[in-house]
Amino acid sequence: MINENKKAVKTVSLIIFATAFSKILGLLRDIFMAYFYGGSMENAAFATALRVPLVFFDIVLGAAVLGVFIPVYNSFGFDLKSGREKEKDEFANIFLNFVLIITALLALFGAVFSEQIINFMTPGPDYSDEARRLASNLLKILFPMIIFTGAVYTLTGVLQSKGEFLAPALVSAASNLGIIAYFLFLNKTLGIYGLAAAYLAAWLIQLITLVIPLVRKKYRYKFILKLKNEALIKAAKMSPPIMAGSWLVPAGMLIGLRFLSYSDEPELYIAAFGYSTTVFLLAAGILTYGVCNYIFPKLAQNANNGEEFAKIVKGGLSSSLFVIAPAACVLFALREEAVAVLFNRGEFKETIGLAVSTSRMLAPLAPSMLMFSAIEILNRVFYSKKLVTIPMAASLSGIAANLVLSRLFILNFNFPPVYITLAVLICQSAAAFILIAALKIKIGEIFDRDFLVNIIKIVLNSAVLLIIIKILYDIIGNSAFDSSLLKNISVGLVILISGTAVYALSNIIFKTNESKAFFKMLKK
């Protein structure tokens, strides 16, 4: 058992580090975007145009590709001698071809109706016609990338189901390097239109980087279309509620963009929203998807093994909370330093009010990391159990709350635009609460005394951490946007190191399961 735990920790750690490497390169890409385009009209147009195809994919196919494909693919079993491996790969090819056809049709639709889509996304009177025209033209270039996105998602599911986690975690690293190279060498010449083409090429690069690990895992692509394939029919029946269950985050992005277009400075606040969500998704994604990508195939494989399934769920939830809770506390305390260190240079720094608005929007997003992680893990728990309507209900409830609150905050109460991320926090909290309540009802054995006590210990340790670093931060008294890069980094390191020490000591004192497991591994 100890060897299995060590192997699991090693695998998850590799996934997290690989994901972190790819995400950090993505952050570096966004840092260059902030440097060259700041809060300009071009930035707002590009952010809107880039968001649309990705959100279209997430809404129509994104979660269905992973949320449906992986459980159905793994339902064939793992006996290579039985020949079922060929059936699995045949289903993968049929599913992949189906996804390619759907995404190609979506790309055509998006290119033809790009102007109408942008007008719907940015109805605010102060959003300039020039920005709308530019966004429409950029959208024509960017929309076809969903074809590559669909293929990458599907083939990632194949690799994860075959036990290959490292390559999928690194898949975006090469593409991010390509975009960074564009900023360094071609941006001044080709400008924003060239950047759109670079993003399109980046998704193609991601697809190409999966070829070698797929060949190594003996997967062979074939163009097969069997619409009466039993596995495909099963996947199609599961898809609608799973698609709806994935809409919370992408819908939140669309709702934010739409209502921020009504603000008095839409380009500035759309830019601030983009940069703050970049930091949020980077931190939450690195810490969440390593766990999710590792446990989801295992959940699917053990869906009918109650004891093992409950063990995987409890381990996934407590380990993610153990890591994300302190990270959220540190990000909340150091949000101004984070924005200053990452973005506050070039055009970003020249845009008055952009840094302050970004850090204020980041404040509610820091605690949202906890909700994001819980939602992602619990969605996979319910998908594995074929309880697909529960994530759908949670997602739609959260979207409704976000839509109502955003309208009230921005249009009815005339609150500052930064309240748009408070709506995100509230809507994600509502969705997470629904999922946790459903988990208690449907799989109650997970909430045993040891699990609940351990969760309480982690929460208390994180509260202690937040209090200590807040006191320390007030003593230091840093003004991030007026301080040098070196000082901001120094303040961040002092807070981070002190916080890590406090959190580690607190976990040792309270004897959380994670701290005990760590010391057991050291003894071995």
Residues 6+ apart with CB under 8 A from 516: none
Euclidean distance between CA atoms 524 and 512, whole angstroms: 19
| 67 has a pLDDT exceeding 90 | no
Give the Cα separation of 433 and 427 in Å (integer). 10
Q: Which amino acid is at 177?
A: L
Report the alpha-carbon distance of residue 347 to residue 34 in Å, rounded: 7
**Stated pTM of the model:** 0.85
Tens of pLDDT, residue by residue over 9-33, are: 566 667 777 777 888 898 899 999 9
Work out whether the CA dihedral 339, 342, 343, 346 comes out positive or negative: positive
How far from the centroid of its chain's Cα atoms is residue 4's Cα? 28
DSSP 413: S
Work out the average pLDDT over 224-235.
84
Mean pLDDT of the chain: 88
For residue 458, the model assigns a pLDDT of 95
CA distance 11 to 169: 12
419 DSSP 8-state letter: G
> Residue 235 pLDDT > 50, yes or no?
yes
| Structure tokens belonging to residue 182 | 């564009």
Residue 4, pLDDT > 60, answer no
Q: Which pLDDT does position 66 carry in this prediction?
A: 65
Q: Quote the CA–CA distance of 229 and 265 in Å, as a whole number.
A: 52
**Cβ(406)–Cβ(420) below 8 Å:** yes
List CB contacts of 410: < 8 A, sequence separation 6 or more.
Answer: 259, 260, 262, 263, 417, 419, 420
Is residue 149 predicted with pLDDT exceeding 50? Answer: yes
* pLDDT interval class at 77 (50, 70, 90): low
pLDDT band at 80 (very low <50, low <70, confident <90, very high): very low
* Residues 331 and 283: beta-carbon distance below 8 Å: yes
> For 181-196, what is each residue's pLDDT tens digit?
999 999 999 999 999 9
Which residues lie below 8 Å from residue 58, measured CB to CB, with a gap of 6+? 246, 247, 249, 250
Torsion of CA 140, 144, 145, 151, to 10 degrees: 170
Write the DSSP assignment of 58-76 as a string of letters. IIIIIHHHHHHHHHHHHTT
- Containing H/E element for 301? helix 266-301
Asked if 512 and 458 count as a contact pair (C-beta separation under 8 A), the reply is yes
| Higher local confidence (pLDDT), 513 or 290 | 513
CB 319 within 8 A of CB 9: no
Q: What is the pLDDT of residues 256-277, one digit of tens each?
A: 999 999 999 999 999 999 999 9
Range 319-323 average pLDDT: 91
In this predicted structure, which of 53-62, 74-83, 121-130, 463-472 has the lowest mean pLDDT? 74-83
Q: What is the mean pLDDT of residues 445-459?
A: 91
Q: How many residues does the chain have?
A: 524
